[in-house]
Amino acid sequence: MLQTILKYSLLVLAALSFIYPFIWMLSASLSSESSLGELTLLPVDFTWNNYVTVFTKIPLDRAFLNSALVAVLTTGLVLLSGAMVGYALARLDFVGKNIIFYLIIFTMTLPFQITLIPNYITMVKLGWVDTYLALIVPFALNSLSVLLFRQAFQSLPQALIDAARIDGAGELRIIFQVLIPNIFPTVLTITILTFMGLWNEALWPLIVIRDESTMTMPQLVTLFSVGGRAEGQLGVKIAAAVMLAIPIVVLYLFFQKHFIRSMASSGLKD
Amino acid sequence: MAEVILRHIAKAYDKGTNVIKDVNIDIKDREFVVLVGPSGCGKSTLLRMIAGLEEITDGDLLLDGQRINDLPPKDRDIAMVFQNYALYPHMTVYDNMAFGLKLRNMPKDEIRKRVMQAAKILDIENLIDRKPKDMSGGQRQRVAIGRAIVRNPKVFLFDEPLSNLDAKLRGQTRIELQKLHRELLTTMIYVTHDQIEAMTLGDRIVVLRSGDVMQFDTPLKLYNQPANLFVAGFIGTPPMNFLAGQIVRKDSTLCFLSKQKTLTLPLTDTGHEQSLKTYEGEEVIMGLRAEDISVSLIETNQTLYVTTIQVVEHMGSEVLAYFTIEEQRFVAKLSGDTLLEFGQSVYVGWNLGKAHFFDAKTELAIR
C-alpha cells in the first residue's frame, strides 16, 4: 500500500514537472507583459493581446499553411518512396542490393549538420532557394522510413506476394494494395515520426527561405523571437510558441496510442 | 483444352547447382498429375516454375503448344493454391476471391456471379463477409481454393495444400479435391511429400529425387512396377523391404544368394529367371512388399527363414511385424487377427514370384 502511494506520488511529481512549463507557457501567453515574472498556473491580468500582436506583426496564418503543405506533401512522398525502396530491398533480387541497403543505413549515421552546407549549395545551383521545392525535395526520401518499410515487408510471407502476382497484380499494386494494408502500424509510425520531424524543423528553412510568404511556422516564430521584431516582449514570443505547438498537441490527442508506439520504436533515430 | 508439356526443363541458381535437372513431363488435358518426393527434391520449385514465380534456366514450358517460359504469372492462365493459404489478411472472403477478377476488369455482375458460384461449390457462402483471421484452417483452405476456381484457369496448381490441416480434415479435403477435379474438368498439378495423397489423388504421379524424375506413371504402375530402388522404397506404406545379394548358378539352377549367404532361393518358375539370367555373378537387390511376406509360428512349406519378432504394431485392421533378415530390418503386413508378441521365434516366407529385383549398381529395376 505504502509502496503504491510512493510510486504514484513520484509519477505524479514527474508528470507535473513535465507539464508545468507547458501550462505556464499557456497562461503566460494569456497574461499581461508586466505580470510575467510570476510563475503561476493561471493567467494574471487575462488578455488576448499577445496573440493579437503576433498575428498583426507576422503572417502566422500563412506560415501555418506553408508548414502544413510542406509537412503533408513531404510525409506523403516519404511514405511513397520509402515503401517502394523498402520493398525493393526486402523482396526483389538485384545486383548490389546489400551495398545499396548499407549505404542507406550509413546515411543515418551522418548528422544533419554535416550535409547542411552541401545541400544548401545544391539548392542554390538548382535555383530552388525561396521555393517550396527546397523544403520538400531534400526530405522526400529518408533512410529511417526505408529501413522500417524494409523490415516490415520482410516480415510478411512470400506467398502473399506470389498469390498477388498470380492474381495479376503488378509490383506497385502488390506494394500499395496488398502489403501496405497489412503493415499499417509501421505506416503510422513512419507518418508520425516524419510529420513531427518536418513540422519542428527550423534550421533548414532558415537557411533556404528568406521570403516571408514561403516561411514555415517554426522558422517564422524563431525569426520573430530572436530577430527583434517581438520588440523584447516575452509574452508575444510565448504566444507565437504556443501557436507553433498547438497543431502537434492536437495531433497527439488524436493518435495518442500510436504516438507512444512510434516513440518507442524510434530508438533508431536521435 | 489445357495440355502442359515440360521439355528438358532445368533450373540452376547462381552457384551452378542444378536444383531441377532435365525434367520431361507431358500432362494431358484434364489430367490430375501429382509431383511427389522427399523434401528438397525440387517439387515445389518445379511447380513455381510452371506458375512463373521462378525463372526457368533451360528447356521449354508449353501450355497448349505455346511456349510460356517468359510470360509473367498473370498471363499464363493458371491459378495456384498455396500451402499456407496466402489469403490477403485485410480483405474479406469475397474480396479475396474477387481480387484477381477485378484486376482483369471483369464486370461487377460477372464477378459476383462467379464468386457466389464458387462459394456454393465449396460450401462457404455463409463466410463470404468474414476476414481470414476469423476462420479455421479448413475454411481458409476452401477460400484459397475458391480464389483459384473463380479465375476459371486452364491449369490449377496446388502446393502442398493439405499439409497445414489436421489428419481428419486432410482426409476429407482429399476426397473433396477429387470431386472438384471431376466437376471442373481442368488440368491440375499437385505437389505433396505425402505418398498417400499422391496415390489417392493422381491420375499419374511424378516421383522426384534431387531434381530428377525417377518415374512418371499411374499410381498402380508405380506400386507394382517401380522403375528403380528409390521409387520402390518411396511409394507404399510400410515401405518395401530390401535384401542385398547376388545371382548365382547352383547345380545348373539360377538362384538368388543373399549377401551373408544364409538364403539361397532358386528362381525357377518365379518369372524372374529370364530377366535375371544375364545378371549371373552380379550383385542385385531383392525387394519385397510387406503384404507379400508371410509370418507364422510353425514351419510351413513357404518358410524360408527363421527369425525373432522385434516389434509388433497392432493397427486394428492389420498387424505390422518387424524382424531382421541378415541384419536388414523387415516389416510384414499381416491380417488384424494375427497374434504375435515381441521376442517370439517365427518362420518367415514369401512367394519369390512377387519379389522385385534391382541392379545394385544402377538401382534400376530388372525386368
| pLDDT bucket at A269, cuts 50 / 70 / 90 | very low
Per-domain residue ranges of chain B = 4-234, 241-359
Residue A83 has pLDDT above 90, yes or no: yes
Instruction: Give the closest-approach CA distance of A166 to chain B in angstroms.
Output: 5
CA distance B274 to B255: 12
For residue A107, the number of C-alpha atoms closer than 13 Å in the C-beta half-sphere is 14
Query: Rounded to a whole number, what is the distance in Å from the CA of A270 to chain B's nearest CA?
Result: 33
Facing residue for B82 by CB, picked from A162, A169, A181: A162
Which residue type occupies B227? A
8 A C-beta contact, residue B298 and residue B346: no
Q: Extract the C-alpha cell encoding B342.
A: 515381441
Chain A residues close to B85, C-beta within 8 Å: 159
Provide the CA B190 distance to its chain's centre, in angstroms. 10
Place of cell 503543405: A69
Q: Taking CB atoms and an 8 Å limit, are A159 and B79 in contact across chains? A: no
Residue A39: pLDDT above 70?
no
- Summarize the confidence of residues A143-157 as an average pLDDT: 93
ipTM reported for the complex, 2 dp: 0.84
CB distance A128 to A134 below 8 Å: yes
Whether A268 shows a pLDDT value over 90: the answer reads no
Residue with cell 528438358: B8
Of A264, A108, A247, nearest to A185 by C-alpha is A264
> A257 falls in which pLDDT band (50, 70, 90)?
confident
Residue B242 has, within 13 A of its CA and on its CB side, a CA count of 17
Read off the pLDDT band of A270 (50, 70, 90). very low
What letter does residue B38 receive in the DSSP assignment? S
In chain B, where does DSSP find H-type helix?
43-51, 93-103, 108-122, 137-150, 167-184, 195-201, 219-224, 229-234, 273-276
Which pLDDT score, from 0 to 100, does residue A230 have? Answer: 66
A181–B90 CB contact, under 8 Å: yes
Taking residue A208's Cβ as centre, other Cβ atoms within 10 Å add up to: 20
Inter-residue contact B189 to B158 (CB < 8 Å)? yes
DSSP code, position B239: P
Whether A162 contacts B82, CB under 8 Å: yes
Chain B hits for A173, Cβ within 8 Å: 103
Evaluate whether B188 touches B181 at the Cβ level (below 8 Å). Answer: yes
Cβ of residue B71 closer than 8 Å to a chain A Cβ = no
pLDDT of residue B16: 72
Give how far Cα B199 sits from Cα of B173, B332, B347, Å.
15, 21, 32
Q: Does A91 touch chain B (CB under 8 A)?
A: no
The partner residue sitting opposite B103, judged by closest CB among A163, A167, A182, is: A167
- Tens-digit pLDDT profile for residues A117-143: 999 999 999 999 999 999 999 999 989
Min Cα separation B147/chain A (Å): 9
Residue B361 to chain A, least CA–CA distance (Å)? 41
This prediction has a pTM of: 0.83
Q: Does B57 touch chain A (CB under 8 A)?
A: no
Pairing of strands B311-314, B318-325: antiparallel
How crowded is residue B266: how many other Cβ atoms within 10 Å of its Cβ?
14
Would the CB atoms of A167 and B74 count as touching at under 8 Å? yes
When the candidates are 3.40.630.10, 2.60.40.10, 1.10.3720.10, 3.60.15.10, the CATH number that belongs to A71-264 is: 1.10.3720.10
Q: Are A222 and A206 in contact (CB under 8 A)?
A: yes
Which residues are B190's β-sheet partners? B34, B158
Q: In chain B, which stretches have pLDDT less than 70?
A: 15
Distance from CA of B69 to the nearest CA of A (A): 15
- Residue in A167, A181, A182 nearest the CB of B99: A167
Nearest-CB residue to A168 (from B48, B84, B104): B104
In the numeric block, the cell 521449354 is attached to B60
DSSP letter at A175 equals: I
Is some CB atom of chain B closer than 8 A to the CB atom of A95?
Answer: no
pLDDT of A244 > 60? The answer is yes
Pairing outcome for strands B356-359 and B241-250:
unpaired
- Cell numbers for A136, please give them: 520538400
Contact criterion met (CB below 8 Å) for B355 and B325: no
CB contact, 8 Å: A173 with chain B?
Answer: yes
Only one residue has cell 524424375, namely B213
pLDDT score for A29 = 87
The DSSP 8-state label assigned to residue B42 in this structure reads S
Task: Name the CATH topology of B241-359.
Answer: OB fold (Dihydrolipoamide Acetyltransferase, E2P) (2.40.50)
Alpha carbon of B79: minimum distance to chain A alpha carbons (Å): 7
Contact B72, A171 (CB under 8 A): no
Give dist(CA B188, CA B148) in Å, integer.
Answer: 11
Q: How many other C-beta atoms are found inside a 10 Å radius of the C-beta of residue B114? A: 19
- What is the secondary structure of B12-58 as a DSSP string? E-TTS-EEEEEEEEEE-TT-EEEEE-STTSSHHHHHHHHHTSS---E
Determine the residue among A167, A173, A178, A180 to mutate to test chain B binding: the one whose Cβ has the most chain B Cβ atoms within 10 Å. A167
Residue B182 CB: number of other CB atoms within 10 A?
Answer: 10
Residue A52 has pLDDT above 60, yes or no: yes
Q: Report CA-CA distances (Å) from A210 to A71, A131, A219, B188.
A: 19, 10, 10, 69
Q: Which of B71, B74, B91 to mutate to test the interface with A (most CBs of A within 10 A)?
A: B74
What is the CATH architecture assignment of B4-234? 3-Layer(aba) Sandwich (3.40)
Among B51, B78, B86, the residue with its CB nearest the CB of A160 is B86
The residue-averaged pLDDT of A175-198 equals 90
Position B15, amino acid: K
| Per-residue confidence band for A265, with pLDDT thresholds at 50, 70 and 90 | low
Cα–Cα nearest to A169, from A179, A184, A157: A179
pLDDT tens, B72-82?
999 999 999 99
Closest chain A CA to residue B147: A167
Q: Which three cell numbers stand for residue B331?
A: 516389416
